[in-house]
Chains A and B, each alone.
Chain A
């Protein structure tokens, strides 16, 4: 059974710092990995999707990497801003075509202090 772990559970940093959020998964036979952002009381917003054949994806100040063989992904946030404060979730997808089983981590709650 796939298990997804996110460390740390919570993180508080001063504005402007670069930071790394970690996601690990137990079964490396994944199809892709997706990073989400969730603001309090809101739904999930997709940030980045990395296919199993890719090593990284970038969007603005965000960079996500994937090391499938070791079961790890990182989300790098450059020059953090108070607006980045949210919970960040990673999810791994298994299977191909049709229905794909998705397993979520519990998330890392990020606070960026002005």
Chain B
């Protein structure tokens, strides 16, 4: 258990509204990630962070922004939610055991955009 929590766990919102999802970790991991999971697709990377205020885009970043002002928190914002952003969102961290990079995941946030 890498001490990852996500909030909220479930959210229903309306098209056009901004939404912020929070990922919190307790073990000082440098790398944090946001993924979305949709039926018929593997997990797809939205954004990742490699340190405080250091973030970069993943493969499906359009319509999303992120911020990391503290090591323990990584926020994902949907600037203006659309129905195509209905998905399950997972936060992950990379833990290194020597040179062995391994990912651990949070419990997920189920977001429905109506």
Contacts and interface: CB of A to CB of B under 8 A. Distances in A.
Interface string A91-109: 1010010111111111100
B43 A49 contact: no
A31 B42 contact: no
B31 interface: yes
Most buried by B among A4, A43, A99, A105: A43
Interface stretch (B62-70, B78-86, B100-108): B100-108
Nearest to B106: A43
B31 A99 contact: yes
B107 A93 contact: no
Contact of B48 (A31, A99, A105, A106): A99
B36 to A, nearest CB: 11
Interface string A65-85: 000000000000000000000
Contacts of B107: 42-43
Contacts of B56: 99
B45 interface: yes
B103 A91 contact: yes
A47 to B, nearest CB: 11
Given A44-B105, A91-B103, 17 more contacts: A34-B102, A43-B107, A46-B103, A46-B104, A49-B100, A51-B100, A89-B42, A89-B43, A96-B99, A99-B31, A99-B50, A101-B45, A102-B45, A104-B44, A105-B42, A106-B40, A106-B42
28 contacts: A4-B42, A32-B102, A36-B105, A43-B90, A43-B107, A44-B43, A44-B90, A45-B105, A46-B102, A46-B103, A46-B104, A49-B100, A51-B100, A89-B43, A91-B103, A96-B99, A99-B31, A99-B50, A100-B94, A100-B101, A101-B45, A102-B45, A102-B103, A103-B42, A104-B43, A105-B42, A106-B41, A107-B42
